[in-house]
A and B are shown apart, each in its own frame.
Chain A
Amino acid sequence: MADTARRAYVRPIDFRHGRVDMTHGSGGRAMAQLIEELFARAFDNQWLRQGNDGAVLAAPPGRLVMATDSHVVSPLFFPGGDIGALAVHGTINDVAVMGATPLWLAAGFVLEEGFPLADLRRVVESMAAASRDAGVPIVTGDTKVVEQGKGDGVFVTTTGVGVVRDGVDVRGDRARPGDRVLVSGTLGDHGVAIMSLRENLSFETTIASDSAALHGLVAAMLDAVPDLHVLRDPTRGGLATTLNEIARQSRCGIVLDEAAIPVRPQVEAACEFLGLDPLYVANEGKLVAICAADDAPRLLAAMKSHPLGAQAAVVGEAIDDPHHFVQMDTKFGGRRVVDWLAGEQLPRIC
C-alpha cells in the first residue's frame, strides 16, 4: 500500500514554501505523504514503523497512569521552547507528578489550512527532539486539517502512559497538617516569557520559558523519599491555584512564607508593571511537592542535586484549617489569603 502511494507522488513535499491544505487531512495520498515524510520520519520508532492504526504495547507490571493535555499556546514559538516541546513536556510531567515513570506518548494534531509547512516541520522536529531527550517515544498519532480561520496554525494534543513504581502513593489528597511544601525552582518564568511576546504587551526580557520534562527529577525525589505525599506541576493558574486544589482535596489549609518563594527579579518586575502576581503565573518545568516534615530536608537535598531542582526551596507548610484556605505570611509582616485565580490572567499560555 505504502509503495503504491509513493510511486504516485508527483514531487516531494515543499517544506520551504508549502502550506497545509485540506488534502493533508483528507485521508488520501497527500496525507499519507505528510505522515511518512514528516511525522513518521521525525518520531521514528518500532511502533510507528509498523504503520498500524494504533500501537500494541507490552505493559510492565504495576499500576498504569494515563494523562492527556491539549496545547493551544500563542505564539507557537517563544524563548525557551515552542508548542511542540511544550506538548511533550506537559504530558510527561502530568504522568510524572503521579509518581510514575512515563513510557509512551500519543500525539494528535489539528492543523489549520494555510499553516506554513516550514513551521509545522519546526514544531514536529522539536517534539521529536524533546521525546528523544526524555526517552519517551511517540508511538501513535493523528492529523486533522480544519479550514482557514477555524484554527490557529496548529493545536497539539498529547496523551501519556506511565507506570507507578511499587510503594509509591502520590495523590492530591495526602497533604497532612505539619507537612512541608516545596517548590523545585523559580516561579512564573513560562508565563512571563509568553507575555513578553504578545502583540499588545511586547516588552523586552531575558526570561525564557522553563519548559522541561520533570520525570528525571521526580525519579530522584522518589529515590530519596518514597513516601512523597503530593506532587503537582503548577501550570495554568500558577502555584496559588495548584495549592488551592491540593488544600481542597486534602481538606487542610496551607500557609506560605513569601520570603522563601523563589522568583526571578525580571519576573517580579514584569509582574509588577503588568499588575500580575507571580504566584498565579504559569510554569512548565516546575513542580510542587508535599512531604512529612521529617522527610523535607532529605527531599530538598535530592531536589537541589538535580539540575532541574537547583533552586528548590521549602516555601510553606500544611495546617489544620476547616476552610481549606491557602494563606501567606507577607514579607511586609501581615498575613493574607492566596485565593483561587478569578477570571483569566492571560489566555492561551500553554
Chain B
Amino acid sequence: MKYVDEFRDGATARALAAAIAREVRPGRRYHLMEFCGGHTHAISRYGLKDLLPDNVAMVHGPGCPVCVLPVGRIDGAIALARDHGAILCTYADTMRVPATGGLSLLKAKAQGADVRMVYSCADALRIARATPGRDVVFFAIGFETTTPPTALAILEARREGLANFSVFCNHVLTPAAITHILESPEVRELGIVPLDGFIGPAHVSTVIGSQPYDYFAEEYRKPVVIAGFEPLDVMQAILMLVRQLNEGRACVENEFTRAVTPEGNAKAKGLVAEVFELRRSFEWRGLGEVPYSALAVKAAYAACDAERRFGLVCRSVPDHKACECGAILRGVKRPTDCRVFGTVCTPENPIGSCMVSSEGACAAHYTYGRFRGQAGVAAQAPSHG
C-alpha cells in the first residue's frame, strides 16, 4: 500500500536496528517513554521489541484517551443516556470501559439506553439533525487531536440552530500530563521510574506543534523526539534519543517532519480557543487530579455543553482494588506486574481501562506480545466458544 509500506519496510527496520545496536553503550540503560497509545500499539503490533537491544527499555505512557478516562466520567455518560433519555454517541472503544456497578456503555445499551457507536462527531451531528425531538449528546474524549473536530461540531450546531445537540466534554491536554509524570515523586525524588527521554506524540503534535515540548527539554533535561505512528518512525526516534543521550543533549527533535511544524495547526488551535476553556483541574485515571489538564465548553456555548444542560455532576470513583491501571499509566508498573493481567482481566472482560482500547498498554501486550515469557497465560477462548 503506497505511503504506508514505505514506513513498515523490514529491510529498513533491520538497518535501523543495527544502527541502534551500534550506538547504545553497553554499560548503560536507556529508559524511553512513548507517551502515546499509538506508539504503544505500533511497538506491540510490529514486534519492535525483537529488534531492540536489551538495554533499551520502552516505558508505556498515559497517552491513551480511553485509558485515562476515570470511572466517574463513564458513569456520567451512562447517566446521560439512561436517566436523561439522551441519544449518547460515542467512539466504539469507550463502550467497553468498566463503570460503577459492573456497568459499561455496552451493558447500559443492552438494558435499553440509547447508545450509538459513531466514527466521528460529524456522525453525531447527523443523528441530531435526523432526530429533532431527542437530545443527542456526543461523548467527546481524546487529546488535542480530537478536540478541533469537536469544536467544529459545536460551531456547526450553533450555525444551524441545532437545539438538541450537545457535547459531554472530556478532552484532555498532553503537556499537562507529561509535566505531571515528570513531577511525580516516583520519577522526581524516589527514582523508582527511571525516565531518560520521551518519544513525543504524533497526531497531537500536528495540532499543537513541537514548541510546547521545549519546556520539558529545558526544564527537566529530558530529550524529546516527536515521532509518527508507523514502526519505522518509532525505530528512528529511538535512534535519535539514544544519540542525544549519548551526547548529553536534551533537545526537542522532530522525526515526524512530514506532518509536524514548530507552530502546529493555527486554524485548529483557533477553533479550540474559540469554543473551549481550561478546567482548573480534571481527574485522570491513574494520575488523579491534574491541574489545568483538560478543557470545558465555554459559557458562551453553554447550550452545547451537556454538563450544564443536564446538571451533570461526575463523582470520583476509585478503580477496582486489584487493578494496576493507575501505576501502569504512570509507568511505575508493567502490565505483567498486575495480578489480574490475563487471568481475570482480559479484552473480553476488562477490569481496567488499559485492557479496553487497542492503544492501552495491557491490551496491546495481551493481544500481540504475551507469548514472551508468559508461561502462565494460555490462549483463551472467548466465552461464546
Select from chain B the residue with minimum beta-carbon distance to A267. B1
Select from chain B the residue with minimum beta-carbon distance to A343. B96
Is A39 an interface residue, CB under 8 A from the partner? no
Is B369 a contact partner of A336 (Cβ separation < 8 A)?
yes
Contacts of B366 in A (CB 8 A): 339
Contacts of B119 in A (CB 8 A): 200-201
**Do A336 and B347 contact each other (CB < 8 Å), given the known contacts A269-B1, A323-B371, A323-B377?**
no
How far apart sit A103 and B119, CA to CA, in the bound complex (Å)? 44
Is B300 an interface residue, CB under 8 A from the partner? no
Select from chain A the residue with minimum beta-carbon distance to B127. A200
Against B, the Cβ 8 Å flags (1 = close, 0 = not) of A310-339 are 000000000000111111001111111101
**Do A272 and B4 contact each other (CB < 8 Å), given the known contacts A336-B46, A336-B369, A343-B347?**
yes
Is B371 a contact partner of A337 (Cβ separation < 8 A)?
yes
Contacts of A269 in B (CB 8 A): 1
**Do A332 and B378 contact each other (CB < 8 Å), given the known contacts A265-B1, A337-B367, A343-B347?**
no
Is B382 an interface residue, CB under 8 A from the partner? yes
Is A139 an interface residue, CB under 8 A from the partner? no
Select from chain A the residue with minimum beta-carbon distance to B116. A200
Is A200 a contact partner of B44 (Cβ separation < 8 A)?
no
Q: Which of A272, A325, A326, A335 contacts B47 (CB 8 A)?
A: A335
**Do A247 and B379 contact each other (CB < 8 Å), given the known contacts A327-B371, A334-B49, A335-B50?**
yes
Is A333 a contact partner of B10 (Cβ separation < 8 A)?
yes
Select from chain A the residue with minimum beta-carbon distance to B46. A332
- Size class of the B contact interface (CB-based, 8 Å): 35 or more
B374 to chain A, nearest CB (A): 8
Is A272 a contact partner of B1 (Cβ separation < 8 A)?
yes
How far apart sit A337 and B373, CA to CA, in the bound complex (Å)? 13
Is B4 a contact partner of A334 (Cβ separation < 8 A)?
no
Contacts of A332 in B (CB 8 A): 8-10, 13, 46-48, 231
Is B370 a contact partner of A337 (Cβ separation < 8 A)?
yes
Q: Which of A201, A324, A333, A335 contacts B379 (CB 8 A)?
A: A324
Is A334 a contact partner of B50 (Cβ separation < 8 A)?
yes
How far apart sit A207 and B4, CA to CA, in the bound complex (Å)? 20
Is B45 a contact partner of A336 (Cβ separation < 8 A)?
yes
Contacts of B371 in A (CB 8 A): 323, 325, 327, 335, 337
Is A47 an interface residue, CB under 8 A from the partner? no
Select from chain A the residue with minimum beta-carbon distance to B119. A200
Contacts of B118 in A (CB 8 A): 200
Q: Which of B10, B368, B378 contacts A336 (CB 8 A)?
A: B368
Is B369 a contact partner of A200 (Cβ separation < 8 A)?
no
Against B, the Cβ 8 Å flags (1 = close, 0 = not) of A172-192 are 000000000000000000000
B113 to chain A, nearest CB (A): 17
Is B348 an interface residue, CB under 8 A from the partner? yes
Q: Which residues, 53 to 84 on B, are CB-close (under 8 Å) to A?
A: none
Is A44 an interface residue, CB under 8 A from the partner? no
Is A342 an interface residue, CB under 8 A from the partner? yes
Is A248 an interface residue, CB under 8 A from the partner? yes
Against B, the Cβ 8 Å flags (1 = close, 0 = not) of A242-276 are 00110110000000000000000100110010010
Q: Which residues, 273 to 288 on A, are CB-close (under 8 Å) to B?
A: 275
Is A340 an interface residue, CB under 8 A from the partner? yes
Is B196 an interface residue, CB under 8 A from the partner? no
SS of A interface (majority):
loop
Select from chain A the residue with minimum beta-carbon distance to B364. A336
How far apart sit A228 and B143, CA to CA, in the bound complex (Å)? 52
How far apart sit A331 and B13, CA to CA, in the bound complex (Å)? 10
| Tally of chain A residues near chain B (CB < 8 A) | 30
**Do A336 and B380 contact each other (CB < 8 Å), given the known contacts A201-B119, A325-B371?**
no
How far apart sit A339 and B366, CA to CA, in the bound complex (Å)? 9
Is B190 an interface residue, CB under 8 A from the partner? no
Is A342 a contact partner of B379 (Cβ separation < 8 A)?
no
Is B368 a contact partner of A323 (Cβ separation < 8 A)?
no
Contacts of A331 in B (CB 8 A): 8, 10
Q: Which residues, 325 to 379 on B, are CB-close (under 8 Å) to A?
A: 346-348, 358, 363, 366-371, 374, 377-379
Select from chain B the residue with minimum beta-carbon distance to A277. B45
Contacts of B21 in A (CB 8 A): none
Is B22 an interface residue, CB under 8 A from the partner? no
Q: Which of A269, A333, A335, A341 has the most chain B CB atoms inside 10 A of its CB?
A: A333
Is B378 a contact partner of A323 (Cβ separation < 8 A)?
yes
Q: Which of A325, A339, A342 has the most chain B CB atoms inside 10 A of its CB?
A: A342
Is A340 a contact partner of B381 (Cβ separation < 8 A)?
yes
Is B123 an interface residue, CB under 8 A from the partner? yes
Q: Which of A275, A324, A334, A335 has the most chain B CB atoms inside 10 A of its CB?
A: A334
Is A339 a contact partner of B1 (Cβ separation < 8 A)?
no
A68 to chain B, nearest CB (A): 16
Contacts of B51 in A (CB 8 A): 333-334
How far apart sit A325 and B368, CA to CA, in the bound complex (Å)? 11
A277 to chain B, nearest CB (A): 9
Is B14 an interface residue, CB under 8 A from the partner? yes
How far apart sit A275 and B93, CA to CA, in the bound complex (Å)? 12
Is B369 a contact partner of A337 (Cβ separation < 8 A)?
yes
Is B48 a contact partner of A334 (Cβ separation < 8 A)?
yes
Q: Which residues, 7 to 57 on B, are CB-close (under 8 Å) to A?
A: 8-10, 13-14, 17, 44-51
Is B46 a contact partner of A330 (Cβ separation < 8 A)?
yes
Contacts of A325 in B (CB 8 A): 371, 379
Contacts of B9 in A (CB 8 A): 332
Contacts of A336 in B (CB 8 A): 44-47, 368-369
Q: Which of B117, B363, B371 has the most chain A CB atoms inside 10 A of its CB?
A: B371
Is A340 a contact partner of B378 (Cβ separation < 8 A)?
no
Contacts of B347 in A (CB 8 A): 339, 342-343
How far apart sit A342 and B96, CA to CA, in the bound complex (Å)? 11
**Do A334 and B46 contact each other (CB < 8 Å), given the known contacts A327-B371, A339-B367, A343-B96?**
yes
A256 to chain B, nearest CB (A): 13
Select from chain B the residue with minimum beta-carbon distance to A268. B1
Contacts of A268 in B (CB 8 A): 1
Contacts of A272 in B (CB 8 A): 1, 4
Which residues of A approach B to under 8 Å, CB–CB? 200-201, 244-245, 247-248, 265, 268-269, 272, 275, 322-327, 330-337, 339-343
* 6 extra A-B contacts, CB within 8 A, seeds A337-B369, A340-B348: A200-B117, A200-B123, A332-B8, A333-B14, A333-B47, A339-B366
Minimum-distance CB pairs A-B, first 7 = A334-B47, A342-B347, A336-B368, A334-B50, A332-B46, A323-B378, A333-B10
A and B contact pairs by CB, cutoff 8 A, 23 listed: A201-B119, A244-B379, A244-B381, A245-B381, A265-B1, A322-B378, A324-B379, A325-B371, A325-B379, A326-B379, A330-B45, A332-B231, A333-B17, A334-B48, A334-B49, A336-B368, A337-B369, A339-B367, A339-B379, A342-B347, A342-B348, A342-B367, A343-B96
